Amino acid sequence: MPMSVTRPVRLAGRLVLALAAIAGLVALFLALVVLTDGAGSGLPAWLTTLGIATAAALWRGRRRTRSARLVPFLPVVVAAALTASVCVPTVPTGRQYPPDLPFVATQHWSLATGSRVAVYHYPPANTGARRPVPLVYLNGGPVRGISVLDHRFLQLLARQGYDVYAYEQAGGGRSDLLPMGQYTISRSVRDLAAFVDRLGKGRVDILGFSSGGVVLTRALADPGVAARFHRAIIAEPGPMDGPTARIAGHKGRESARGLAPAMTGPRSTHVPRYAVALGLMRLGLLTPDTGLIGQAEGDNALTAADLGSDTASSYCARDAHRIPVEDTAENFSFSPAASLRVQQTIKDSPSIAPRLRHSRTPAMLMIAECSSQVRQWATAVLAENPAVQRTQYMPGVGHHMWNGLDDNNDRAAAVITAFLENEPAPLPNHPTRGEIPAFLRNHR
């Protein structure tokens, strides 16, 4: 083979070997991060990888000339630089709370459970009839701030005469963080009971959306907590317990996931440190209280663009190209580690169905046509809770039913108002318990 051909072949071969060495070192580093659960911000894993790589480079260069001995160190330097980026924070490691909203005061209440939560109050409008029972809103997340879109819906309910209160669950939004081990679904239920007690206005109506609907469902299964409620609305709930979480069922009609334009803006997942940490946590390879990134740092790093596909899944396919901006960059807040921790405690919990069957609090279930939730998560609540008096199947909307599009907010408010005032439902009572098999069979 001519020299002009063999030289490029050799260079290509060396390049392939160097890239393989770099990939191997990166893989070793990630494996050590997993084995140590990210201890010390990943620095012990990095130092161990660097030590092994240096020893291997020295061994490979032991019989080479002095200048050639440096060649095996090139992959080491590149791999060290790549993996070091996983160990260095690029956002503040202390919690940076969102600034106050300009249209509502942020109060901070210390609850009997030890949680300190951010509270928002929308008093009833001066026009029309005032509703005598306060309405408490539990947002989704599970550990997430209340979006501006949700605040606008709460303002609409207040204009219809409701005395509306909402709080961001511990660790979410402007509420104080908890130690990671204290984020559990049972703590969320206790916080709800403590919030109603702190409110001090007797029994309240509750609207629980998504994971807030899970908290409400589990609260209804606890007679001591449920005694604080007048009426309950469970909207688009997640799985209520471990057995429900393990159901592999179908979802609603097609959502905008995969159809909507990609959300613009910075993404933490474009930064190696947070892409690795959040990715490994989501895969279950790092625990929520990993030493790689702290809870506060993870909260500060995550942006709305990181949840772009999840946001799209909350809307019908027909709305893919007109999805509203749900939140401002300043108000957005989501705690990935705490949310994973709460979700895991739900998955690990035994069935609450035997206790839920004794519920006596009048309840309503709201289901979206294009729901991204597994249908059996909602129908399990209907099947096991005898106090669910009506189900409202909301046509033309996705998981986020009050989304500011068309008349969706008004339609959701009409359904909620009719139930809370014990008036005729604006939509058919569907599905009923007897219709659950056909509802699931027809992939509604």
Q: How confident is the model at residue 191 (pLDDT cuts 50, 70, 90)?
A: very high
Q: What is the mean pLDDT of residues 117-143?
A: 91
Q: What is the mean pLDDT of residues 254-266?
A: 90
Q: What is the mean pLDDT of residues 114-137?
A: 91
Distances (CA, A) of 41 to 50, 274, 349, 418: 15, 11, 31, 53
pLDDT at 308: 81
Pick the range with the lowest mean pLDDT from 58-62, 137-141, 150-154, 378-382: 58-62
Whether 129 and 161 have beta carbons less than 8 Å apart is answered as yes
pLDDT at 12: 65
- Over residues 340-351, the pLDDT tens digits come to 999 999 999 999
Q: Which CATH superfamily is domain 107-441 in?
A: Alpha/Beta hydrolase fold, catalytic domain (3.40.50.1820)
pLDDT at 336: 94
Q: Which residue has the higher pLDDT, 58 or 244?
A: 244
Cα–Cα dist 53/30, whole Å: 14
pLDDT at 15: 73
Q: What is the mean pLDDT of residues 392-407?
A: 96
pLDDT at 184: 98
Q: What is the mean pLDDT of residues 52-78?
A: 75
pLDDT at 67 over 70: no
Helix or strand holding residue 90 (H, E): none
The strand pairing partners of 136, in sequence order, are 165, 206
pLDDT at 249: 85
- Over residues 75-105, the pLDDT tens digits come to 888 889 999 999 999 999 999 999 999 999 9
Angle, alpha carbons 299-305-309 (nearest 5°)? 110
pLDDT at 60 over 90: no
pTM of the full structure: 0.92
Q: What share of the chain has pLDDT > 90, as a percent?
A: 82
pLDDT at 325: 92
Domain ranges of the chain: 3-84, 107-441
pLDDT at 66: 63
pLDDT at 14 over 80: no
Q: What is the mean pLDDT of residues 334-363?
A: 97
Whether 204 and 162 have beta carbons less than 8 Å apart is answered as no
pLDDT, the chain, mean? 92
pLDDT at 74: 85
Burial 140-176 (b: 16+ CB within 10 A, else e): bbbbbbbbbbbbebbebbbbbbbbbbbbbbbbbbbbe
Q: How confident is the model at residue 2 (pLDDT cuts 50, 70, 90)?
A: low
pLDDT at 4 over 60: no
pLDDT at 262: 87
Distances (CA, A) of 350 to 52, 60, 217, 308, 347: 45, 56, 14, 32, 8
Q: What is the mean pLDDT of residues 106-111?
A: 98
Whether 61 and 70 have beta carbons less than 8 Å apart is answered as yes
Q: How confident is the model at residue 264 (pLDDT cuts 50, 70, 90)?
A: confident
Distances (CA, A) of 69 to 15, 55, 66, 74: 16, 12, 5, 10
- Over residues 285-302, the pLDDT tens digits come to 999 999 999 999 999 999
Q: Which ranges of 313-374 would DSSP assign to H, the alpha helix?
A: 336-347, 353-356
* DSSP-derived secondary structure for 226-291: HTTEEEEEEES----SHHHHT-----SS-BSTTTSPPPPS--GGGSHHHHHHHHHHHTTSS-TT-S
Q: Which residue has the higher pLDDT, 106 or 443?
A: 106
Q: How confident is the model at residue 427 (pLDDT cuts 50, 70, 90)?
A: very high
Q: How confident is the model at residue 254 (pLDDT cuts 50, 70, 90)?
A: very high
Q: How confident is the model at residue 127 (pLDDT cuts 50, 70, 90)?
A: low
pLDDT at 21 over 90: no
Pick the range with the lowest mean pLDDT from 56-60, 117-121, 323-327: 56-60
